[in-house]
Structure 1
């Protein structure tokens, strides 16, 4: 918790000039998806995400909160029907990017914290700084990348705690397929001596109206070093409604 507090203070300090400035440009989206089954199989899964972006004269900032849980109803050894949670994950992240003279070039500070009750790491906190730029910019496509050093601290499912320096790289590709459809691909790699975490998401969205979209996404998270009873790769397929405001 102390490290997480430090992370939050650092992110806020990096963006303190924007807090005092005119918050004139906000782009926020909230997405929610849920599946409920009954009959022979009873269960509920819910996924949600809030993505808030702010574009000021000198700063560009992004704040993300996401959550996912899955709960099933099963029969125990005594023949009783009980509810059992099989997934519960929360992520919060923030990035403050200071714009340089060249368009799309920036210096950034990034922080994230993941709490995963059933993952290879129960908690995983990252703080990184670095440089970002746009490698490709066409009429309907763009590719943004960033790279820099950082620090991580994680608690494994077996209660072992690890921390150390990392090298973090990330990329975000956007392709506007039509006026109403878009494809996005994001990738982040955090390389360290103890563990390398790779997270990638492929998503396609279709606009229903000016504020509402339907989004289908496939998320992959891989850790290179996990306890013997855990798998290296977790995946999540989702279909959500996205409201933008």
Structure 2
């Protein structure tokens, strides 16, 4: 168990050496990795790790997007008898793949999307979706782009009930998503993403806002806020989870 006495924030970047530079559109791969670590000791003991890999692959017609993220947290908990123990309070993994086929218009595409979430402490222990549909660029400015996509899909999840038992759910969904990128200055960029997966059993909404500032050609500091909402949860579960983070990002 990690028990340092200072606050740490760092970035670890590991990826295959064939990955190309982000600012070169002619290169097939764009990859960014980020990691934030916080550890405290003393009167309050916590350990929190949050990381993400975001990789994009550009082929002649096919554009592929891969995302993997993980969150882990331990906190010191005071028991009824006054003793203190360290317990895991968060463990969440998310992965997604999107493959989009470019149509005649440069920013229009037909896509296939899949995602899987495992959340030990969430309202759903597992949540998987697949979807197909159409995507396009709604606005294409010099410093700002807005993309959107929509299509039908299917979900399967394991919902945690009030007695901690599991109820399996599945069904047809309608998935919509949007992404805004704003290059505020040569060294600062704002991004906003939103996805909504609506079905008969549950509607899942996930939004993330982030501001990145460039430290050098490869490294950035990123401040972000993430919110996730499920409409169908057990009475003792919160419908909305939020996370605020500060990470270092390394771009290949």
TM-score where L is the length of structure 1:
0.89
Aligned counterpart for 1:242 among listed residues 213, 227, 249: 249
Q: State yes or no: 1:148 paired with 2:151.
A: yes
- Deviation string 1:43-92 (CA, Å, 9 cap, x unpaired) is 11110000010011111010010001110122334544321011111001
- Deviation string 1:187-241 (CA, Å, 9 cap, x unpaired) is 0000101100000000000000000000000000000111111010000000000
Counterpart in the other structure of 2:109: 106
- Deviation string 1:91-138 (CA, Å, 9 cap, x unpaired) is 011000001011110000000000000111000000000000000000
User: Which is richer in helix?
Assistant: 1
Q: State yes or no: 1:89 paired with 2:92.
A: yes
Cα contact 1:96–1:109 (8 A) shared by 2: yes
Counterpart in the other structure of 2:185: 178
Q: Give the number of equivalent residue pairs.
A: 223
Deviating beyond 4 angstroms after TM superposition, the runs of 4 or more aligned structure 1 residues are none
Distance, in Å, in 2 between the alignment partners of 1:43 and 1:176 is: 35
The unaligned stretches of length 5 or more in structure 1 are 1-22
Distance, in Å, in 2 between the alignment partners of 1:147 and 1:74 is: 44
Q: State yes or no: 1:138 paired with 2:144.
A: no
Counterpart in the other structure of 1:10: none
Counterpart in the other structure of 2:207: 200
Aligned counterpart for 2:37 among listed residues 34, 50, 53: 34
Counterpart in the other structure of 1:168: 175
Distance, in Å, in 2 between the alignment partners of 1:95 and 1:217 is: 23
Give 3-state SS (helix, strand or coil) of 2:185's partner.
Answer: coil
Shift of 1:24: 4.8
Distance, in Å, in 2 between the alignment partners of 1:75 and 1:176 is: 46
Cα contact 1:24–1:56 (8 A) shared by 2: no
Q: State yes or no: 1:211 paired with 2:218.
A: yes
Q: State yes or no: 1:129 paired with 2:136.
A: no
Q: State yes or no: 1:75 paired with 2:82.
A: no
Aligned counterpart for 1:60 among listed residues 53, 58, 63: 63
Q: State yes or no: 1:221 paired with 2:228.
A: yes
Distance, in Å, in 2 between the alignment partners of 1:237 and 1:152 is: 27
Shift of 1:242: 0.3
Distance, in Å, in 2 between the alignment partners of 1:114 and 1:167 is: 18
The unaligned stretches of length 5 or more in structure 2 are 1-25
Distance, in Å, in 1 between the alignment partners of 2:197 and 2:208 is: 15
Counterpart in the other structure of 1:45: 48
